[in-house]
Chain A
Amino acid sequence: MASVSLSEAEKVYIVHGVQEDLRVDGRGCEDYRCVEVETDVVSNTSGSARVKLGHTDILVGVKAEMGTPKLEKPNEGYLEFFVDCSANATPEFEGRGGDDLGTEIANTLYRIFNNKSSVDLKSLCISPREHCWILYVDVLLLECDGNLFDTICIAVKAALFNTRIPRVRVLEDEEGSKDIELSDDPYDCIRLSVENVPCIVTLCKIGYRHVVDATLQEEACSLASLLVSVTSTGVVTCMRKTGKRVGKVLHASLQSVLHKEESLGPKRQKVGFLG
């Protein structure tokens, strides 16, 4: 993780403030920073999203490719995660420096999505045992100011919401050989349902209290942190069961913002990094 050096006085200040439910930027212990979400940022991909949480900036691109299903799950497609901690965030990530953090985050994402209900993998199957859609979810970490896991999960959820997979038909001719036909209409595609995709809430223990959405300075003062992944109905899919209240609120607001952005339609002005 990108490191920041704090003096003892600053640490004491942060810890004492948290005990009184007052953080350095004036938030309460369970408040998130302002989140900005924008989808369809990169046009080469099947779906993409950019999320900015304070100074933490994440870009996720999803590419759908055809491949063969896994042997133990012949009727389902699957997701592959790759996290790239770019040197933009901090010079320590140059070369192979960001690989450790990247693999840790990718492994956490695999664990979260490892259950049957997060994403409907059966809809990604084209023909059992032969063809299926593989979704390559690539996360690019551009700037790091604490609370990486939450932001990454929000970005992955938004990118999966934005993903458009082309509709294919399997044609079988007389000899029995199958041919895959892509539909001619570029807008004829299937969308994934992201209702059950969980969001992660990270709780950092500072002194005797816990805070949600810690900045880099607060993470430096915290003794331990707990990641909980919560779905929109409050079901906890991973880790231990605290922080359910915050998780549900996060889901509701994210879903409403994504639907509002979608309803703006194709005439929406795309801002990306230029705004």
Chain B
Amino acid sequence: MAGLELLSDQGYRVDGRRAGELRKIQARMGVFAQADGSAYIEQGNTKALAVVYGPHEIRGSRARALPDRALVNCQYSSATFSTGERKRRPHGDRKSCEMGLQLRQTFEAAILTQLHPRSQIDIYVQVLQADGGTYAACVNAATLAVLDAGVPMRDFVCACSAGFVDSTALADLSHVEEAAGGPQLALALLPASGQIALLEMDARLHEDHLESVLEAAARAARDVHTLLDRVVRQHVREASVLLGD
């Protein structure tokens, strides 16, 4: 990848975007009729599906039931054909388990679990095509799916990734930019209150630059919120037309 400039002198990235610009987002709720809630999102070339079952009775051991709130169970799975190189196992490897754990932490912060004690909410996310920003796409799809299922949430959870190249913060990284090896930050935000549900970065970044990267990610997450809000309103409008209201 030597010689590939992630940010040109005129300020354009590899795919022609500006530093703070998001990729094209298209989303749809209610993709599957059998699940309680489902949603599909495309962020550029990254495609993710999320399905929610619940709240229902705890499956497996009753001992895991929490007396005052619901248990949130997440599974992250990426299709074997989703990446450039074929993956051997869709889920069960360490990275998928870690992603599942992060998704669970994110949604435990947002879902009002006290309203459903002793029950379980399952969120299953499937990545069909991975082109960078998979965590963000999964969180956004899962938010829409949870809303489609009618599970009460404190607020939308909007996520975006951000990086840092040539003293400029980039928002919504694609696979090429992630593979280049710079610092990457993943942020999941509750936009109305400005609270952070999850913030993750595992690279070296000077603390002076942290502020600007965080700001870029937060701004991008708020843009995602505007888009997701529009999708939800459109879906409700279509549903109410069908019901004849």
* Chain A contacts to B: CB under 8 angstroms: 41-45, 48, 55, 57, 59, 61-63, 65, 82, 84, 86-89, 91, 94-96, 136, 138, 140, 142-145, 272-274
Contacts and interface: CB of A to CB of B under 8 A. Distances in A.
30 contacts: A41-B128, A42-B129, A43-B129, A45-B81, A48-B81, A55-B32, A59-B79, A61-B79, A62-B81, A63-B86, A65-B86, A82-B80, A86-B90, A86-B124, A87-B51, A88-B51, A91-B122, A95-B91, A136-B86, A138-B79, A138-B86, A140-B126, A142-B126, A143-B32, A143-B33, A144-B34, A145-B34, A272-B40, A273-B40, A274-B42
A61 B80 contact: yes
Contacts of B168: none
A43 B35 CA distance: 26
B77 interface: yes
A274 B128 contact: no
B92 A44 contact: no
Interface string B75-107: 101011111101000111000000000000000
A142 B32 contact: yes
B122 A42 contact: no
Contacts of A43: 45, 129
B47 interface: yes
Interface in B27-66: 27-28, 31-35, 38, 40, 42, 45, 47, 49, 51, 53, 59
Which of the four size classes fits the interface of chain B? 35 or more
B234 interface: no
Contacts of B91: 95
Interface centre among B26, B34, B81 (most CB of A within 10 A): B81
A43 B83 CA distance: 10
A117 B227 CA distance: 51
B81 A273 contact: no
A42 B77 contact: no
Given A43-B45, A273-B28, A87 B124 contact: yes
Contacts, number: 97
Contacts of B124: 86-88, 91, 94
The 9 closest A-B pairs by CB, nearest first: A61-B81, A273-B40, A87-B124, A88-B51, A138-B80, A45-B81, A84-B90, A63-B86, A143-B32
A274 B26 CA distance: 8
A91 B53 contact: yes
Contacts of A59: 79, 128
A41 to B, nearest CB: 8
Contacts of A45: 81
Contacts of A41: 128
A84 B79 contact: yes
A219 B83 CA distance: 36
Contact of A44 (B33, B77, B82): B82
A274 B40 contact: yes
Contacts of B90: 84, 86, 140
Nearest to B53: A91
Given A86-B90, A88-B32, A94-B124, A42 B82 contact: yes
A88 B130 CA distance: 18
A161 to B, nearest CB: 16
A89 B126 CA distance: 11
A133 B244 CA distance: 55
B56 to A, nearest CB: 8
Given A42-B47, A86-B124, A86-B126, A91 B59 contact: yes
